[in-house]
Structure 1
């Protein structure tokens, strides 16, 4: 992977960790996500009006629509997970996509797994297990299974599935975009992001206002408008840069390196928020980062 790509991904990691922390520590994660979406949609309209969305190849619109729907459900699912569990518990599970993306990329995008990638899969699976380990082997597996079935923890695993899905969809979309417009990589990435964001956050807000009290939503928006603005800017930086990199690098490598944000968020949850099971969760975070490092390594 090129050093420029790694630099953009690491910058994306900082942005991604920031908006996740802002979301989890909000008075209502779902409502903040809706506010963030409104800010992003306004920015999208302004950006697309000046960049020209008419330059998008016709065959891309289906991928953009699929990405928008997946991202809309992802935002709601992640927000729901943050309302029910600690960030240092949810985030490593939700961001364990490097375990699964290479497998699907093998079949759908003809990417190939190296020995180091397979080793990384084992490490990340171990990290997920450690999050549920309480000193007893059998009980640990039972805890993991109970978490998968639990109506609250289920949201973290649903989020994981959505991350895998939109990563594959976005990779294919960006391949088409760069083939059609090879000299506009940066613009391509942000045009794609803003178009799918318009769809995703429209769906997100329609859902929020249909099932929750508009008065409650607006009250949170008024109290946390500054938080929503920062979260929106961080989200644009986070995924806009990823869309740029996806034009040049394998999705397996991009998703893997991006998970450095896991350690950032776990450390925040344990050190700043004083969440429980600190050593256990830090170890899980370190294993995830080490695993994704192997995933991104090409001998």
Structure 2
């Protein structure tokens, strides 16, 4: 992995933590998620229509990805309704690279070096240590299976999108159609669960959702592009450094506590990034 791809993925991690924070602070997290999805979908469709139409095989990857992404959003929203950003986020993001690593090593042709495996494992250890506080702080136990469900969906769409973007040969077009289809899948799910509440959302909610959409679109476009140039498992693991950014956002802006355990976990995450560069 080149230094430029590394820096791009780290920037994507910051963007990812930012849009999660914007969704978390929303009065209605589900409505904020829908607004983000609709804005992304409109932007994706506008970009997609200016580019070459995908071939038949690529549509299979896109449809599978749309389903994974919609399920991921549902799990994440319900998890945020149960717990804090600094607790839900580490669990939701932490298990994904472990799942991707195992699947990539067994089923895909990506070659991961020994130090890169070690770096991914150190990242995972830091993430698990970060998430352990959910039990010590007596938060709702419901957030754990919901966050793990989000992680499983993340692993699913990471693998699908990495392979799909490679099949498409154009990450920009692939991501554009992905977000357009994501809006098509997620909107009816929202309407079935919450009705037309998004139509009466406040101006502030629409602004926050739109900002989250821009951060999310940029973050995932960078990640899918990186997956076309570097091993999927490695890109996915480095993206999880967004946990460090999420903890900082929670501490500085949400007033969440920064204990020794969180600091140690953040240190392990940084160490994991360094090891992957050796």
TM-score by length of structure 1 reads: 0.83
How far off its partner does 1:219 sit? 3.0
How far off its partner does 1:251 sit? 0.5
How far off its partner does 1:128 sit? 4.2
Aligned CA distance change for structure 1 residues 289 and 157 (closer, same or farther; 3 Å): farther
Aligned counterpart for 1:82 among listed residues 76, 80, 83: 80
Equivalence for 2:107: 108
Separation in 2 of the partners of 1:25 and 1:262?
17
Assess if the C-alpha contact under 8 Å between 2:87 and 2:131 holds in 1.
no
RMSD of aligned residue pairs (Cα, Å): 2.4
Structure 1 unaligned segments of length 5 or more: list them: 135-139, 179-187
Assess if the C-alpha contact under 8 Å between 1:28 and 1:83 holds in 2.
no
Aligned CA distance change for structure 1 residues 175 and 255 (closer, same or farther; 3 Å): same
Structure 2 counterpart SS, 1:227: helix
Aligned CA distance change for structure 1 residues 209 and 80 (closer, same or farther; 3 Å): same
2:252 maps to 1:252: no
2:218 maps to 1:237: yes
Assess if the C-alpha contact under 8 Å between 2:120 and 2:234 holds in 1.
no
How far off its partner does 1:151 sit? 2.8
| Per-residue Cα deviation, 1:117-172 (whole angstroms, up to 9, x for no partner) | 443354344334434657xxxxx9xx49x99x943321111111111111111111
Aligned CA distance change for structure 1 residues 129 and 6 (closer, same or farther; 3 Å): closer
Alignment of 1:1-299 (within 5 A): 1-52=1-52, 54=53, 56-96=54-94, 97-131=96-130, 133=132, 143=135, 150-178=141-169, 188-214=170-196, 216-220=197-201, 222-276=203-257, 278-294=259-275, 296-297=276-277, 299=278
Separation in 1 of the partners of 2:241 and 2:69?
21
| Per-residue Cα deviation, 1:197-225 (whole angstroms, up to 9, x for no partner) | 122222222111111142x3333354411
Structure 2 unaligned segments of length 5 or more: list them: none
Figure out how many residues of one structure are paired with residues of the other and give that number.
276
Separation in 2 of the partners of 1:262 and 1:130?
12
Separation in 2 of the partners of 1:118 and 1:29?
36
Aligned CA distance change for structure 1 residues 251 and 285 (closer, same or farther; 3 Å): same
Assess if the C-alpha contact under 8 Å between 2:90 and 2:131 holds in 1.
no
